[in-house]
């Protein structure tokens, strides 16, 4: 899957990454790399904590989320999402 932001930024995810595997994850409090104990999910976010995304991030952003609240590398986040392409082999 390739996602594109309005500024032209593109990120191509592997099948495993779309399913929350093979991603670097970090504890949000310490910044220390940790292995997720529960799967991450790729989403298109438009709300955060009950409000619309900040004007510098959206209205739409691709994000990788999980129940542990871990951070992923910023390269996986595409702000101002304008395009999602599904790539087939």
pLDDT in tens, 45-86: 998 888 998 888 889 988 888 888 888 888 888 899 999 999
Residues 6, 70: Cα–Cα separation, whole Å = 26
The pLDDT of residue 71 is 86
The answer to whether the beta carbons of residues 64 and 41 sit under 8 Å apart is: yes
How would residue 3 be classed by pLDDT, with cut points 50, 70 and 90? very high
6-30 per-position pLDDT tens digit:
999 999 999 988 888 888 999 989 9
Given this model, what pLDDT does residue 56 score?
Answer: 83
Query: If we measure between CA atoms, which residue out of 28, 44, 53, 52 comes closest to residue 78?
Result: 44
Q: Evaluate if residue 88 carries a pLDDT over 90.
A: no
């Amino acid at each position: 899957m390739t996602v594109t932001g309005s500024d032209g930024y593109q990120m191509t995810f592997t099948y495993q990454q779309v399913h929350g595997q093979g991603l670097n994850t970090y504890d949000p409090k310490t910044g220390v790399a940790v292995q997720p104990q529960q799967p991450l999910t790729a989403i298109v976010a438009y709300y955060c904590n009950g409000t619309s995304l900040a004007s510098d991030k959206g209205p739409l952003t691709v994000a990788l989320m999980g129940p542990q609240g871990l951070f992923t590398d910023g390269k996986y986040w595409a702000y101002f999402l304008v395009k999602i392409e599904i790539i087939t082999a």
